[in-house]
Structures are given as structure tokens and as C-alpha cells.
Amino acid sequence: MNWAAVFGAAAIIPLLNASIRLAVPTGLAAVGESLCQRAGVLNLSLEGMMLSGAYAAFLATHYSGQPWLGVAAGVGGGMFIGMLMALFSVTLKTEQVINGIALVLLASGLTSFLHVRLFGVTAPERFDPMGKLEIPLLGAIPGVGSVVFDQSPLVYLAVVLIIGVWWTLHRTRFGLAVRAAGDRPGAADAAGISVDRVRAAAILASGAMAGLGGAVLVVGQLGLFAQNVTAGRGWVAIALVIFGRWSPLRVAAGAFLFGFTDALQLRIQSASGGIESDIPFEFFQALPYLVTIVVVVVATARARDDAQPESLGVPYIKGARSS
């Protein structure tokens, strides 16, 4: 096999670029989910949020011709599912796992249905995806420059948001309220924090980020919508939250690792003889998951504290003794 085609000097930068492209949609959703879970809500609707965001972004860009409007709509599309999730899980206090899965099914059915009803049996409309934004001077640095400073503007936005979530969670009053709502909602309540409001806000934030993740796929990469275009990234994102042990930065690192392994496996498959290769292709597909699982096991075994929010998945009912 031609390893130089995968790891050669000329191949490394494209490999890192591809890793970032693969990591960003999932990473955005995963970091949003980590915030949501820190507030105590196990939001399994993530895939639905992404898909809804992807479709809203497609529609807005298609009808307005403005990719940034599409990005905004993507955020809105994710928050739409977030509103429903908050309504069921926070206001009505029904089982979070069921709500989440139901909303994924809703988003999948609704987007497919709308796509056929709106566009019929005509060619799916497409548009040019958003271009790259090279940051002046920095982008010209050989090597590093083109990886770090010559990306889609959505990548920079993602980085800012991810750091923003970390900052919010660990350095602000609201972040403290979120963590309290997730660990000891009763104590938070006694301290005058509205657990319901905090949780609803966290779900909406998670919806916004997942919706943006979906928008990145459609507006930033593909320029079209296809049925279930998010292809399971929301589920991967939920796994990444556990991987990152509920810390936004570790979750983001996990997303990058996953994207990197995926970019790598595609390159190894291509360079190693593809269908003529003796290694079954399923091995390559499993690679990102295997690597992630191994890292989770190692990280969990080494960790001393239990990072999981104590009231994760438990609806908070005021006055009822929960924990």
C-alpha cells in the first residue's frame, strides 16, 4: 500500500482539512448536547434537531439566495425541535428518552414529506455552498495557515461557539445554574434557580447548535438537501458527549478525533486497493467508532470522578423528593 498517499507531506494538510470538515457538524451538535445534559436533560432528539436545521437551512438558502440567512434558519430549525423537546420534557415532564426518539422520527418524516410536497418530482434544487474565508496574512502561513486559517467561515463560527459554551458553563452564573440543575435540581430550586427555565434554555441552546451543525452540512458543504442527509451524526454526537465526559472541550476534541479517523479511513481505503483489498471494508467504517470506544474506556478507567450529571434524564418535579 502507498502510505505516502495518506501520510506524505503533501497529504497531511488535506487530511487535517478533511478532519475538520467531518468534525464540525457533529462537534457542534455534541457540544450543544453536553450543555443540555449538564442541565440534566438527556436530549436524544439531537439527530432530529440537526436534520430539521439542515432542511430549514436548505429552504431559506434556496428561497432567499442568502447562505447566511440559511445558516440562521438552520439554527431556528434546530430550535424548533428544541422547543418541542422542552415542551415535552420540561413543561410536561414526560419521559425524555421517548420524547427524544419520537422527535427524531418526526424530523425525519417531516423533512422528507415537505421535500416531496414542496419540490415534487422535479430535480432537487441546489445552490453553491458557502466558500472559504481565508483570514488575511495568517492564512498564508505555510502548512498551519491553510489548516487553521483557510476554512469555511462556519468553521470559525463553530470554534467560537464551542469555546463560548465552555465559557458559559464554567465561568458564568448561568453555567453554574445549568450545572446545579443537572446535579442537584432540588438544591438549585431552593437557591432560587428556576430549574425548568434553565433546562429549557439549555435544550434550546442545544437545538441551536445542532441546527447549525445541520446547516453546515447543507449550506457549507453539499449545496443540496437529500433525505436524512445528517445520516446518523446526531447519534454519534450523543456518544461523543459520553466520550468527552460532559466537558465541552473534551467533547469537541472527541469530535475532531472522530472526524480525523473518518478522514483517515477513507484515505486508507482508497490507497489500499479498495474492493481488491483483503481487509473487509466494514473494518474501515468501524475504525472511527473503535478508536472512540477505546479512548472512552481508557479515559473512563483513568478518571477518578464521576463526570456524569447526577440527575441526568430525571424530570424535575417541584416538591417531589427526587434525589
- Report the site for another protein in 27-56 (rule: CB under 8 A): 42, 44, 47
Query: Cβ of residue 10: shortest distance to another protein, in angstroms?
Result: 8
Best CA proximity match to 255, nearest among 268, 270, 242: 242
Which is nearer to another protein, 119 or 167 (by Cβ)?
119
Give me the least distance between CB of 229 and another protein, in Å please: 6
Q: Which is nearer to another protein, 44 or 147 (CB)?
A: 44
Give how far the C-alpha of residue 139 lies from the chain's centroid of Cα atoms, to the nearest Å. 26
Q: Site size for another protein, by CB under 8 A?
A: 74
The interface mask with another protein, positions 279-318, x = CB under 8 A, is: -xxx-xxx--x---x--------------x-x-xxx----
Q: Smallest distance, Å, CB 316 to another protein? A: 14
| 8 Å CB contact between 62 and 201 | no
Q: Is 304 exposed, middle or buried (0-12, 13-18, 19+ CB in 10 A)?
A: exposed
Closest distance to another protein from the beta carbon of 8 (Å):
10
Nearer to another protein, 92 or 97 (CB): 97
Q: Distance between alpha carbon 222 and the CA centroid of its chain, in Å? A: 17
Query: Residue 1's CB: how many other CB atoms inside 10 A?
Result: 10
Closest distance of CB 298 from another protein, Å: 15
Helix 173-183 and helix 153-171: axis angle, to 10°?
70
Nearer Cβ to another protein (138/303):
303
Greatest Cα pair distance in the chain: 65
Judged by beta carbon, residue 40 or residue 248, the one nearer another protein is: 40
Report yes or no: 307 and 280 within 8 Å, Cβ to Cβ: no
- Contacting another protein within 228-267 (CB under 8 A): 228-232, 235-236, 238-239, 242, 262-263, 266-267
R_g of the chain, CA atoms, integer Å: 20
Closest CB 267 distance from another protein, rounded Å:
5
- Sites for another protein among residues 201-230 (CB under 8 A): 217, 221-224, 226-230
Partners of 134 in beta bridges = 150
Neighbouring residues of 239: CB distance < 8 A, sequence distance ≥ 6: 292
- Select 141 or 296, whichever has its Cβ closest to another protein: 296
* Residues 136-195 contacting another protein, CB under 8 A: none
**Nearest CB to another protein, comparing residues 163 and 271:** 271
Q: Which 87-146 positions form the footprint of another protein (CB under 8 A)?
A: 97, 104-106, 108-110, 112-113, 115-117, 119-124, 126, 129
Rounded Cα gap, residues 110 and 186, in angstroms: 37
177, 181, 184, 189 alpha-carbon torsion, rounded to 10°:
80
